[in-house]
Amino acid sequence: MADAFKPGDLVRLKSGGPVMTVDQLVGDDGLQAMWFAYGHQISRYFGSQSVEAAPGPDGGIVAAKPRMRRGGGE
């Protein structure tokens, strides 16, 4: 089931909590996810059966994809 997610996907615990970013897949059925709380980056292991896809800022489900920065720095 861990293959349902890939690094960069947004997930949330099925029981609730913050939106987290999948950092890496671990073994056959786990993933390492990270999020920020109180100005600190936190990273933990979760069994993939305990998380679900989380909505992105616009309300849609977000999957990992390359992003381009706009403006500045030219």
pLDDT in tens, 36-67: 999 999 999 999 999 999 987 766 665 555 44
Q: DSSP letters along 22-43, please? A: EEEEETTTEEEEEEEETTEEEE
45 neighbors 32 (Cβ within 8 angstroms): yes
Model pLDDT, residue 27 = 92
Q: Give the domains, in start order, of the chain with CATH numbers.
A: 2-53 (2.30.30)
Model pLDDT, residue 56 = 73
